Amino acid sequence: PRLSRRATLLGLTALAAPALIRPRNALAATGSPFVQPRLNEGRIEDGRRVFDLTAAPGVHEFRPGIATDTIGINTTFLGPLLAARAGDRLRMNVTNGIGEPMTLHWHGLHLPAAADGGPHQEIAPGAVWSPEFDLMQKAGTFWFHGHQHEKTGAHVWAGMAGVLRVTDDEEAALPLPRTYGEDDFTLVLQDRRFDANGQMPYAMNMHDRMAGMQGDVMLVNGQTSPVLAVDAPLIRLRILNGANGTFYGLHFADNRTFHQIASDGGLLTAPVPMQGTILSPGERGEYLVDVSDGAAAMLRAETFGAEVAMMGTTGTPDVMEIRPRSARPAPTLPARLADVPPPPDATGEDRRFDLAMTGMGMMGDFTINGRRFDHSRIDFTVPLGATETWTWTNTTPMLHPMHIHDVQFRILSRNGQPPAPQETGLKDTVLIRPQETVALRLSFADYADPIHPYMYHCHILEHEDAGMMGQFTVV
Task: Determine the Cα–Cα distance for residues 178 and 287; give it in Å rounded to an integer.
Answer: 12
- Taking CB under 6 A as the criterion, which residues in 102-141 touch ligand C2O? 105, 107
- The footprint of ligand C2O on this chain (CB under 6 A) covers a number of residues equal to 10
CA 321 to chain centre: 21
Q: Please identify which residue in 49, 60, 145, 165 interacts with ligand C2O, judged by CB under 6 A.
A: 145
Applying CB under 6 A, which part among 94-102, 232-240, 304-312, 455-463 lies near ligand C2O? 455-463
Q: Please identify which residue in 338, 458, 466, 474 interacts with Cu ion, judged by CB under 5 A.
A: 458
Residue nearest to ligand C2O (CB): 107
Q: How far is CA 181 from CA 34, 229, 354, in A?
A: 10, 10, 43
> Which of ligand C2O, Cu ion, none does residue 192 bind to, with CB < 5 to 8 Å depending on kind?
none
CB 459 within 8 A of CB 402: yes
457 binding ligand C2O? (CB under 6 A): yes
> Which of ligand C2O, Cu ion, none does residue 147 bind to, with CB < 5 to 8 Å depending on kind?
ligand C2O
Burial (Cβ within 10 Å: 0-12, 13-18, ≥19) of residue 64 = exposed
CB of residue 306 to Cu ion, shortest distance in Å: 6
- Single out the residue of 239, 264, 437 nearest to residue 340, CA to CA: 264
Whose Cβ is closer to Cu ion: residue 238's or residue 463's? Answer: 463
CB of residue 17 to ligand C2O, shortest distance in Å: 30
DSSP state of 349: -
CB 19 within 8 A of CB 29: no
Angle at 160 between CA 107 and CA 285, to 5 degrees: 45
Number of alpha helices (DSSP H) and beta strands (DSSP E) in the chain: 6, 32
> Which of Cu ion, ligand C2O, none does residue 460 bind to, with CB < 5 to 8 Å depending on kind?
Cu ion
CB of residue 145 to ligand C2O, shortest distance in Å: 6
Whose Cβ is closer to ligand C2O: residue 286's or residue 464's? Answer: 464
Q: Please identify which residue in 400, 410, 433, 457 interacts with Cu ion, judged by CB under 5 A.
A: 400
147 binding ligand C2O? (CB under 6 A): yes
Applying CB under 5 A, which part among 33-41, 165-173, 443-451, 455-463 lies near Cu ion? 455-463
- Taking CB under 6 A as the criterion, which residues in 275-314 touch ligand C2O? 282
173-176 LR contacts (CB < 8 Å, sep 24+): 174/267, 174/334, 174/337, 175/331, 175/334, 176/236, 176/261, 176/288, 176/334
Q: Sign of torsion, CA 168 169 175 180?
A: positive
Residues that bind ligand C2O (CB under 6 A): 105, 107, 145, 147, 282, 403, 405, 455, 457, 459
